[in-house]
A and B are shown apart, each in its own frame.
Chain A
Amino acid sequence: MFNIISLISGLLFGFGLALSGMVSPSKVVGFLDLTGNWDPSLAFVMGGGVLVTVISFRYILKQPSPFFGKEFKLPTKTDLDKYLISGAVLFGLGWGLGGLCPGPALSSLAYGNPKIFAFVGAMVGGILIAKALTGAF
């Protein structure tokens, strides 16, 4: 059941990203371009998502265990360490340059654009480099 729920969640997520316009790098850059021809759409995407999770997560996390699994696997760190900030800075730089974050990039593999394959390949390379440098291997 856990695996089927994961598949359904992924299907909804991929469709939601496409419908929201977030698969378009121009739309993402249009949001980040505050001094240009600003497109506020991304704030509505994030707002719509958080509107749901801020209510549903509170209820779900009050339960002793998840409905479709054995246990909750949640982030445990609470401190604002140098990794959090420096990682967010690197990500923000890449996001602004490419107009793509991981969800829209993976979803857009559906459309067969070779530029997206290049981005996703580089993203996997970036993960491997970061894991090697932080000693995760």
Chain B
Amino acid sequence: MENFTPYSSLLGGIILGVASTLLLMAGRIAGISGILSYLIPPQSGDALWRVLFIAGLIVGAAAYPLFGGDMSFLNANPYQLSDNAHYVLLIIAGLLVGAGTYVGAGCTSGHGVCGLGRLSLRSLTAVMSFMAVAVVTVFVMRTVVGG
């Protein structure tokens, strides 16, 4: 467990909760996959808040190193693949994440941080399903590919 970061992860999680609270005070659920997918294509009158939220995500993350944040994750390659193989894996993963979160109406933020906060049975079911599948996926990858 030498990579465990209880304090920064808990504090980061609390900040995600505060951000989600703020957006609900504006009437919206902070589900990142939903905010993105209803922007493709943009609908008039419903696009600006989505673009601003995503711009905020990028600028907020960009501010992290300015506060002395650890940037060693930039070369993260969990399964120690070659560069080309890692690209192929990320493209397959991206297609699955995009399609899956659209069909399943949410991801770790919408179903996780917000849906569990609303005590939604749909969200609890989704979180348990994608967590279980992801755990099995990582187990298979570690067994087959290693890393």
Contact = CB atoms under 8 A, between A and B. Distances in A.
Contacts of A80: 121-122, 125
Given A46-B13, A90-B100, A6 B52 contact: yes
Interface string A101-121: 111011111110101001111
Interface residues of B, number: 109
A22 B127 CA distance: 16
Interface string B49-80: 11011111111111110000101011011110
Interface residues of A, number: 116
18 contacts: A10-B56, A12-B18, A15-B15, A15-B60, A16-B13, A32-B138, A48-B13, A49-B14, A49-B17, A54-B119, A66-B24, A70-B27, A83-B103, A84-B104, A98-B90, A106-B57, A127-B102, A129-B98
Interface of B: 1-6, 8-30, 32-33, 36-37, 40, 48-50, 52-64, 69, 71, 73-74, 76-79, 86-87, 89-109, 111-122, 125-127, 129-139, 141-142
